[in-house]
């Protein structure tokens, strides 16, 4: 099973169009050593031909161009993307659906609350009804529902959504009235090797179910949005903490690094990195600290084999 990180950045990408924080300014001017990153998305395949796109980033067209495997070229009009699965209804995970409108109806796998947002707060479902249309396949409606999702045309992979606590998007009526299925993570299992990936680009709180899912995985690919909870406030860029946005901070008490340290030996990779995060600077003390803890930082084009 191959997992390709199509986009490793949080909403806004890196550098962000209107941002002159140390990182964004530094990568533009070449004063820091860092890689540009597009917005959050991955693709998964067992046969290298049929792929599931997990999250549809606003940068999807550039991501497809950068990933030849997604265009197998079997017909005049063709794609390697057999289905799209969404972890939430955030703009950085759904805006790319609009860019896929020229093809066949999109086979869309998401929870009832995410589908609800795509029919009301951000009505991409009705808009796309005038183009390719989408066929909705519900996943993980209830917090205790860990049933595997079978995707036609995708053999050899089991997908198990894991409901988790993060935040519905700012435009959603569920933002202040959270539902159990506003956000999920995903266990992705290679049924031949038994190897498992746990993917959660937006993870606000670790409950026992999420912890169990992480412990069951050979590789965890998880939320690395912000180094500290108040990073954007201290930089004068936002009034929101990580937790206001549904993201666990990385460093310090109750943070992601502390949790990853308890997981023992397995591959640990951070994804959905915000442009303000000091770990993007490859020469930073924060990046060195991650290395000492055996934690990797995802970059666009990174491949994981399981
Ligand atoms: C988030 O992850 O908090 C959101 O995607 C931010 C955004 O889309 O602006
Ligand atoms: Mn996001
Ligand atoms: Zn920035």
CA distances from 73 to 14, 67, 70, 80, 138 (A): 31, 13, 9, 8, 30
Closest atom, ligand 1, to C-alpha of 225: 2
Instruction: Answer yes or no: is the C-beta of 11 below 6 A from any ligand 1 atom.
Output: yes
Tens of pLDDT, residue by residue over 136-152, are: 999 986 666 678 999 99
Residue 146's pLDDT is 72
Q: Is the pLDDT of residue 106 over 90?
A: yes
Number of structural domains in the chain: 1
Provide φ and ψ at 41, rounded to 5°: -170, 150
DSSP state of 105: P
Q: Is the pLDDT of residue 306 over 70?
A: yes
Residue 144's pLDDT is 67
Instruction: Answer yes or no: is the C-beta of 91 below 6 A from any ligand 1 atom.
Output: yes
Residues 67-73, mean pLDDT to the nearest whole number: 98
Residue 143's pLDDT is 64
Tens of pLDDT, residue by residue over 181-206, are: 999 999 999 999 999 999 999 999 99
Residue 141's pLDDT is 67
Residues 90-113, mean pLDDT to the nearest whole number: 98
Grade residue 57 by pLDDT with cuts at 50, 70 and 90.
Answer: very high
* CATH number of domain containing 20: 3.60.15.10
Residue 94's pLDDT is 98
Domain that holds residue 26: 2-305
pLDDT over 70, % of the chain:
98
Instruction: Answer yes or no: is the C-beta of 16 below 6 A from any ligand 1 atom.
Output: no
Distance of CA 297 to the CA centre of its chain: 13
Residue 147's pLDDT is 83
Note residues around ion ligand 3 (Cβ under 5 angstroms): 16, 19, 21, 24, 275
pLDDT over 90, % of the chain:
97
Residue 298's pLDDT is 99
The protein residue whose alpha carbon is closest to atom 7 in ligand 1 is 11
Q: Is the pLDDT of residue 250 over 70?
A: yes
- Cα–Cα distance, 145 to 282 (Å, whole number): 40
Q: Tokens 């890196």 sit at which residue?
A: 14
Instruction: Answer yes or no: is the C-beta of 224 below 6 A from any ligand 1 atom.
Output: no
């Amino acid at each position: 099973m191959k997992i390709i990180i199509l986009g490793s950045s949080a909403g806004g990408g890196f550098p962000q169009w209107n941002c002159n924080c140390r990182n964004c300014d530094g990568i533009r001017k070449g004063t820091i050593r860092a890689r540009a990153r597009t917005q959050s998305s991955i693709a998964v395949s067992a046969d290298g031909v049929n792929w599931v796109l997990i999250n549809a980033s606003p940068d999807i067209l550039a991501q497809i161009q950068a990933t030849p495997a997604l265009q197998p070229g079997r017909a005049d009009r063709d794609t390697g993307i057999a289905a799209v699965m969404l972890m939430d209804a955030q703009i950085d995970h759904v805006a790319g659906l609009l860019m896929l409108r020229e093809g066949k109806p999109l086979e869309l796998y998401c929870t009832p609350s995410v589908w609800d947002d795509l029919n009301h707060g951000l009505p991409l479902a009705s808009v796309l009804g005038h183009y390719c249309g989408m066929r909705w396949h519900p996943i993980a409606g209830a917090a205790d529902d860990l049933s595997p999702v079978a995707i036609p045309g995708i053999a050899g992979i089991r997908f198990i959504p894991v409901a988790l606590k993060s935040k519905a998007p700012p435009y959603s009526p569920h933002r202040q009235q959270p539902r159990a299925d506003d956000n999920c993570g995903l266990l992705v299992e290679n049924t031949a090797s038994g190897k498992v990936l746990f993917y959660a680009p937006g993870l606000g709180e670790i409950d026992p179910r999420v912890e169990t899912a992480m412990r069951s995985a050979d590789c965890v690919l998880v939320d690395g949005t912000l180094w500290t909870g108040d990073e954007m406030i201290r930089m004068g860029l936002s009034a929101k903490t990580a937790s206001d946005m549904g993201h666990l901070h990385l460093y310090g008490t109750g943070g992601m690094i502390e949790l990853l340290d308890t997981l023992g030996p397995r591959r640990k990779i951070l994804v959905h990195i915000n442009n303000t995060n000091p770990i993007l600077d490859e020469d930073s003390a924060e990046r060195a600290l991650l290395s000492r803890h055996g934690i990797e930082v995802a970059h666009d084009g990174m491949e994981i084999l399981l």
